[in-house]
Structure 1
Amino acid sequence: MTEMVYGSLPHSGGEPVLPRWWRTIDKWTAVFILLLFAIGILLGLAASPPLAEKNGFAPFHYVQRQAFFGMVALVVMIFISMMSPVMVRRLGVLGFVCAFVALLFLPFLGTDFGKGAVRWYSLGFASVQPSEFLKPGFVIVTAWLMSASQEINGPPGKTLSFAFLVFIVGLLALQPDFGQAALVLFGWGVMYFVAGAPFLLLIGMAALVVLGGSFAYNNSEHFARRIDGFLNPEIDPTTQIGYATNAIQEGGFFGVGVGEGQVKWSLPDAHTDFIIAVAAEEYGLLLVLAIILLFLVITVRSLLRLMRERDQFTRLAGTGLACMFGIQAFVNMGVAVRLLPAKGMTLPFVSYGGSSLVAGGIALGMLLALTRNRPQGVIGDHFVGRGRGTLGTDQG
């Protein structure tokens, strides 16, 4: 495993941790993540005061909490990004076990905060959403099982990961939280594809997803209501989608001006699920395009760096984390512009939410750790080097 992770080139273990971390980390990705967090604080200043006033708090109550949880997330992200792939795997497995147990007890000990879905544990001073912490752990465990299954006499890792997937998706659907269930399913599908899944099998899985969606539509009023609202050609202007659509149209290219937006007074989730509507109304299309570009660059840069990685676990885990990060942003913004049905999903590192921010910090810390430069060369160099070594031995 050591050779697979670090390659056959000499590795200097005497370099201090911080200089080695700074030299090997993807600095551009780290900077873009910080920019996303800064944009989130900026939009929180615009979106959250109406809600704070409604709930009897100081005007910037939610902004201060977002700044606090965001700083915790950044510290956690930096700490995890210094870890080796082996340490990331251990942390991911431990986190998955804890989040999985929390998810099991959620129907009995959780609360819905009046939203009709039991997704949170109330701690009094804050709330915790286990599914947010389950996602990075699930990616790590899945990557570990799939990579182990390709070793000689390895375990049936793909089958085991599929069993975990079915059970977790079932638990999330019972909350109901079809958005997170779809996100977990997507992450597993991407990793399975990268691990070499037959294309026909993926088509079969897509058909099963369609059948599962039909079953949920016929048996879940919550799911059916959201699908019907999405398919309805006429938008009710008094719904969240109606308010968000109007705000995006009013913003135009340059926005109506800082603090001049009205959607934050109408949308109860303006600071979370529909934060992009606030950005579009007050700052216009230009800021929205900048946010899209940041998410796109983070995802694509990470995938390009992972393409050079030889270790199967690192490649699979990094791909799963990067794709789930990118698709969650796509779903959040797609809902706001009515490309997708309402999902109740935050915009990573931008929306308000302690669980979302801290869990996002964990996931991005793992991604930064897995995409660090390591002295391994490229795959072609590895085989050329081995061939030369074998030739030299024969000659000797």
Structure 2
Amino acid sequence: MISFNRLKLKGDKVIWIVVFLLSIFSFLSIYSAGSNLQWNNKITALSLLLRHAMHIVMGWLIIWMLHTIHYRYFAPISVLLILPAIVLLIYTLSQGYTIGNANASRWIQIPMLGITLQSSVIAGLILLVYLSRTLSKKEDPKDWNLKSAIAQVFAPVFLVVGLVFPANFSTAALIFIQCILLMMISPFPGRYVVSLIGFGVVSFGLFVSAVVTFPELMPNRVDTWKSRIENFVSGDAEESYQVQRSKMAIANGGLIGTGPGKSTQKYFLPQSSSDFIFSIVTEEYGFVGAFILLFLYFVLLIRFLLIATRSRSVFGSLLVVSAGFGIVIQALINVGVAVNLLPVTGQTLPLISAGGSSIWTTCAAIGIVQSVSRFSSDEAEEEGSEQPHSTIAISNDDANEREEVPA
């Protein structure tokens, strides 16, 4: 068996194994669910599989490259990228286009590379890394005042979330929730967190009121949100058709499933290879397969928690929370939609669903987490090896200097 050292894979070995298992399992699911696209869009299941393989391979390269970079360098990189990310969101909102029945401008195309990108997920990750860096710079809540909180925290959060919101409400809400989570566990004043939540709720209400009063501002979007919520509550109309087919697929699966590639609902379920792929997985592999899949995400959550608590810097801990926890939250949202616990949101199942931007962003997040795990372990080993050779105590100033995050 090839060792991790020979492959030059550092960091948490359990995460490497789980990501590998999810990636391999995604090939079976994508190839099976792709039969739906073959009938509806004249895209063969093989071509979809090859495209997915390219996305996965590129995603693994992203993980490997990022895990070789010391996580402290992500702080200045996020400062440099936050403004371009906001500009990218503005461009997407004005010039982006739709894919399938997204009913909103979410994607931009890079003609030279022939690929499309969903800018919201990229900007969201950049914002979370930037916020981790900003919140870790001050160790005492008393160091914050309203002016610095608005300039350094509130403004970037509302710019990114506000620009994502018109085209992709669920992604905007997910980013906002992660930002709130970061503030709650960091040395950030609780009163400002409550103020941010209140301001977000008021802004959301005013925005919805404005577009309802003037529907020409955002044609189709308010109707889409309204219909999804109404259909979730009442169980009527076209939106509930997806949920009905999803529940039929889950029911057909039983305990051990119908077998690989033998799903019948994939021919009727829209977005069977992306938003509702969990239903196809459950139909073909049953309760056992669904449980194993959810267990793998649970293992990721446990490993993220361990890495966050073991990190020797506040920035490293916040970075793991910002980059890693979103993967698990997104997975729970996707499963919640499939089993009709949540309204249809359009969130993919990380590392399983088809899609380039979502896979690459998830892999980037995993690479960041692995960087924290790798270099935190190296620092701990270095400190442990140095202690027996020196009787000089390390002062608080020296410890803080060692944990200082680059500006």
- TM-score range with shorter-chain normalisation? 0.7 to 0.9
- The aligned counterpart of 1:120 is 107
Whether 1:139 aligns to 2:159 is: no
Q: How far did 1:149 drift?
A: 3.3
Tell me the TM-score normalised to structure 1 length: 0.84
1:104 is displaced (CA, Å) by 1.2
Work out the CA distance in 2 between the residues paired with 1:115 and 1:366: 29
Contact 1:136 1:321 in 2 (8 A): yes
Q: CA deviation at 1:34?
A: 1.1
Partner of 2:160: 168
Does residue 394 of structure 2 align to residue 375 of structure 1?
no
Structure 1 residue 134: Cα displacement: 1.3
> For the structure 1 residues 68 and 80, does the alpha-carbon distance in structure 2 shift closer, same or farther, using more than 3 Å as the test?
same
Runs of 5+ in structure 2 lacking a partner? 213-221, 396-407
Q: Structure 1: which 5+ residue stretches go unaligned?
A: 1-17, 391-396
Percent identity, please: 24
Question: Which amino acid in the other structure matches residue 329 of structure 1?
Answer: A
- Counterpart of 2:170, as a letter, is G
* Number of positions where the alignment pairs a residue of Structure 1 with one of Structure 2: 371
Deviations 1:304-358 (A, max 9, x none): 1211222111111111112111101111111111111111011111100011111
Amino acid at match of 1:194: I
State the partner residue of 1:11: none
Q: 2:35–2:267: 8 Å Cα contact kept in structure 1?
A: no
For 1:341 and 1:70, locate their aligned partners in 2 and report how far apart those are by CA, in whole Å.
28
- Confirm or deny: 8 A CA contact 1:247 1:281 kept in the other structure: yes
SS in 1 for 2:322: helix
Whole-angstrom CA distance in 1 between matches of 2:236 and 2:382: 54
Amino acid at match of 1:174: P
Letter matched to residue 105 of structure 1: Y
Equivalences for residues 100-249 of structure 1 within 5 A? 100-113=86-99, 114-123=101-110, 125-150=114-139, 158-159=149-150, 160-175=152-167, 177-197=168-188, 202=193, 205-206=196-197, 219=212, 220-232=222-234, 239-249=241-251
Amino acid aligned to 2:24: A
Change (3 A) 1:245 1:369: same
How far off its partner does 1:389 sit?
5.4
Shift of the 237–356 alpha-carbon distance from structure 1 to 2, 3 Å rule, reads closer
- Cα distance in 2 between the residues matched to 1:130 and 1:221: 23
Partner of 2:45, secondary structure, is: coil
Q: Deviations over 1:212-266 (max 9, x none)?
A: 5655665322211111111115687961111111111111111122222112111
* TM, length-normalised to structure 2: 0.82
- Which of 58, 66, 73 matches 2:59? 73
Q: Secondary structure at the match of 1:345?
A: coil
Which residue of the partner structure matches residue 3 of structure 1? none
The answer (yes or no) to whether the contact 2:124–2:160 under 8 Å persists in 1 is no
Distance in 2, Cα, partners of 1:118 & 1:236: 22
The residue identity in structure 1 corresponding to 2:133 is W
Residue deviations 1:338-396 (CA, integer Å, cap 9, x gap): 111111011111100011111111111111111221323799xx9xx999457xxxxxx
Partner of 1:30: 16
Cα offsets for 1:190-216 (capped at 9, x unmatched): 110111345565556555555556556
Instruction: Select between 232-241 and 161-170 the one with higher mean Cα deviation.
Output: 232-241
Give how far 1:99 is off.
2.9
2:269 maps to 267
- Runs of at least 4 residues off by over 4 Å: 18-24, 151-158, 197-218, 233-238, 385-390
Higher mean C-alpha deviation, range 324-333 or range 55-64: 55-64
The residue number in structure 2 matching 1:293 is: 295
Q: Secondary structure at the match of 1:121?
A: strand
